[in-house]
Chain A
């Protein structure tokens, strides 16, 4: 494998490559993210942003209490977010645990949502603490059951103790399982990476190893998708594109609950990576409660009065 011609797959080349990355100016990143969050998006721009955000949502349920019924309801909602308004776009994907992939795929097909992808969280999500054989099998299972996108977690313990090549080889191995059958999203779990420098390093590591998307968090650890973290990851995909002419996607997940939060993310994307990334194929938002808030804001814009949570579905 060539790894974009930037590393040769050996420990030393990976180490040297990540070492030469410039450090992140943490104060500067926080200030820039805070500044971009003050942008005011109104009227037609807001309407566009809401619809764009809906089309980027990876509608997610990752609970121990998930049932087939809940997953099916979620799939129906993903396809027709507001049954009273067919102009609402469908979401980007449905994101479920591995054993629910088949149920989700079957239900989506049965309602005619053949091109709505199912994403599976894989590789012993959310901790990633399992043997490699289990992780590979986990991924294979999900793809066979119909997952078109694999959200894998990295081994944060290995990353933080400096065993970078282990993390790298793990991603490469999962990449090989996915081949052209499934998109690979690599979850960095930035809440456990401590510094923005680590976020930048992990982003490059994942991109070099063959990630199609880099994703902030599992949603099980706080803080999750904070603005500075997303900013650093967007800078990474932008700079990686300059180096390789390959566009890698970004998926913030966790803690994005309101329309305002979502629109702030879109502003970050537009101002950092560029408008090419304002597309569900390159930017997704992992969320569950967010969709209802987007729908309520959309109702407010079309009806002219404030909406109530009583008029959107609970799950």
Chain B
């Protein structure tokens, strides 16, 4: 016997708190930036997307009903868990993108900080985006921002972990649930992020992660009637028109973002509710 046989990880999907294989049985090879084989990952199909949306829709009312404090704490917990696994994530980033160990570790720290930054927004949103409105009558009139529902995310890929965190954290913090598509060129970070989420008390179905081809799945994200919003920052610009057209049927909110940390990322997937309340004596 010479040496030990390495136990390789199979990268699977993350749907409703579980790690299933794709229903299609398909897989694809993830290679390093030098073309070496890294791992096999699931090539998700539209039916995996359908299942993920069902999970996200089921989880949404409960997640939105959780207190802002609780949502913030859970997001902060995700940051804690990610911090503890910095080395693994840094190594995966280096393998996929070819960046130096130091740069990769920096990306992980930036991702942790970004999670904490978004976690802090959970209980401040009503003050930022809400208002008390003067009306001509004996009423208090409030406008409060509320979660939109189920939001899809197709994250940017140049920084695989940071881009992914910047896409999903603002969606989740306000009480939306998310279905996120990992990039097909560098999906390791996103899929490993599922392992962090799975140990962070995030309720099942709140974040679902698929790995697959953008070109195959993006149109299904866009046309799905039960997805209320979509972040397409990671899609090539020439596809934006077609995606927005496909999302018209249910008036899907489709956005792109450039800044990593901006409250606008949160507010893009919230809607305003106005409440009239009579003034007593």
Contacts and interface: CB of A to CB of B under 8 A. Distances in A.
A307 B50 CA distance: 10
B249 interface: yes
Contacts of B223: 304-306
Contacts of B226: 306-310
Contacts of A48: none
Identify which of A304, A305, A306, A311 gathers the most chain B CB atoms within 10 Å of its CB: A306
A306 B57 contact: no
B225 interface: yes
Interface residues of B: mostly helix, strand, loop or mixed? helix
A305 B249 CA distance: 10
B67 interface: no
A304 B226 CA distance: 14
Contacts of A309: 57, 226
Interface residues of A, number: 8
B178 interface: no
A306 B249 contact: no
Interface in A290-306: 304-306
Contacts of A308: 224-226, 250
B254 interface: no
Contacts of B50: 306
Contacts of A305: 220, 223-225, 246, 249
B104 to A, nearest CB: 37
A305 B217 CA distance: 12
B243 to A, nearest CB: 13
B220 A306 contact: yes
Interface in A89-120: none
A105 to B, nearest CB: 35
Contacts of B53: 306
A309 B250 CA distance: 12
Contacts of B225: 305-308, 310-311
Nearest to A258: B54
B22 to A, nearest CB: 16
A305 B221 CA distance: 9
A48 B249 CA distance: 26
Contacts of B246: 305
Interface in B226-279: 226, 246, 249-250
Nearest to B224: A306
A308 B228 CA distance: 10
Nearest to B150: A308
A311 B226 CA distance: 10
Looking at B46, B225, B249, B250, which has the most chain A CB atoms within 10 Å of its CB?
Answer: B225
A310 to B, nearest CB: 7
A15 to B, nearest CB: 49
Contacts of A311: 225
Nearest to B46: A306
Interface string B102-134: 000000000000000000000000000000000
A306 B249 CA distance: 11
Interface of B: 46, 50, 53, 57, 220, 223-226, 246, 249-250
16 contacts: A305-B223, A305-B225, A305-B249, A306-B223, A306-B224, A306-B225, A306-B226, A307-B225, A307-B226, A308-B224, A308-B226, A308-B250, A309-B57, A309-B226, A310-B225, A310-B226
Given A305-B223, A306-B223, A308-B250, 8 more contacts: A305-B225, A305-B246, A306-B224, A306-B226, A307-B225, A308-B224, A309-B226, A310-B225
